[in-house]
Amino acid sequence: MKKIAVIGAGTMGNGIAHVFAQNGFQVHLIDVSQDALDKGLAIIANNLDRMLAKDKISISDKDNTLSNIIKFIDLKSGVSGTDVVIEAATENLAIKLKIFKDLDAICDSNTILASNTSSISITQIAAATKRPDKVIGMHFMNPVPIMTLVEIIRGYSTSNVTTKTIMELSEKLGKTPTEVNDYPGFVANRILMPMINEAIETLHHGVAGVQEIDTVMKLGMAHPMGPLQLADFIGLDVCLSILNVMHDGFKNAKYAPSPLLVNMVMAGKKGVKSGEGFYDYSESKKAEKISSQFEN
């Protein structure tokens, strides 16, 4: 395998393109937005510069990586001649079902179609195609060049051959692929999101403040980052949407999103991307606004 297509040049797509290109693959990076493609490439160049400054790569590594990436707006030209397509477009069921239906119609019948979705059912995505055995989840973690896990999600019909191929492909990137089955939240988010939700409920019930909750989990549990700060980095809207998928999928109240999380998302406080979540990213840290939301 030499040629890979990545659909979506946002946070995850540009990271995935970066690691494939740095490992010698030719990457076709596809997005509906020219601006997203340009920004994605600029982010990759910037990240490579940082690696260069830390002596982790050479100038020729940087040049080779960038020259391995070609940008495409048109899906059909972008996927032409590629062995694997990795979809990392916006987390929206309708968008993903349309992309996979189109891919099934235009890609070679042997091409494996992978999705980087955080929460949408791989089985449901695969059902939009006539090749469900060749559809699989390839869930990279953010930031992709740094995080070594790839959660490999087998849909109901994903074949052993497809799984083996994608596990081996992930290893070629220096990652550690880990195989899981397709149930809401897979493994990573099924465990992470209830923890984040419980941290938000702990804040909501006034048990402790933002800093205190994060300090307990960082110093007490040796987590590199507290759950509330992590939620800000993931995006509170993303956390809410994943919890909703698990709540709907399992019909179990334990996955019901905290009312405080719902309120914050409705108020536009989405974390780092909106400038404010549990912490204030526009000025100095300000947790006071959140304390006024305490129930008790």
Ligand X SMILES: NC(=O)c1ccc[n+]([C@@H]2O[C@H](COP(=O)([O-])OP(=O)(O)OC[C@H]3O[C@@H](n4cnc5c(N)ncnc54)[C@H](O)[C@@H]3O)[C@@H](O)[C@H]2O)c1
Residue in 8, 184, 209, 226 binding ligand X, rule: CB under 6 A: 8
Active site residue 110: no
| 118 is known to lie in a ligand binding site | yes
Phi, psi (deg, nearest 5) at residue 167:
-65, -45
Place of tokens 């700060």: 229
Q: Is 88 in the site for ligand X (CB under 6 A)?
A: yes
Instruction: Choose between 5 and 217: whose C-beta lies nearer to ligand X.
Output: 5
Residue in 22, 47, 82, 116 binding ligand X, rule: CB under 6 A: 116
Strands 84-87 and 3-7: parallel
Helix (H) or strand (E) holding 118: none
Q: By CB under 6 A, what part of segment 30-69 binds ligand X? A: 30-33, 36
Smallest gap, in angstroms, from Cβ of residue 296 to ligand X? 32
Active site residue 252: no
d(CA 170, CA 71): 22
d(CA 40, CA 260): 33
Spell out where the chain has E strands. 3-7, 26-30, 69-72, 84-87, 112-115, 135-140, 149-154, 176-181
| 31 is known to lie in a ligand binding site | yes
The residue range among 43-51, 89-97, 248-256, 278-286 that interacts with ligand X, by the rule CB under 6 A, is: 89-97
Which positions touch ligand X (CB under 6 A)? 7-13, 30-33, 36, 88-91, 95, 99, 116-118, 139, 142, 234
Which residues are catalytically annotated? 118, 139, 151, 189
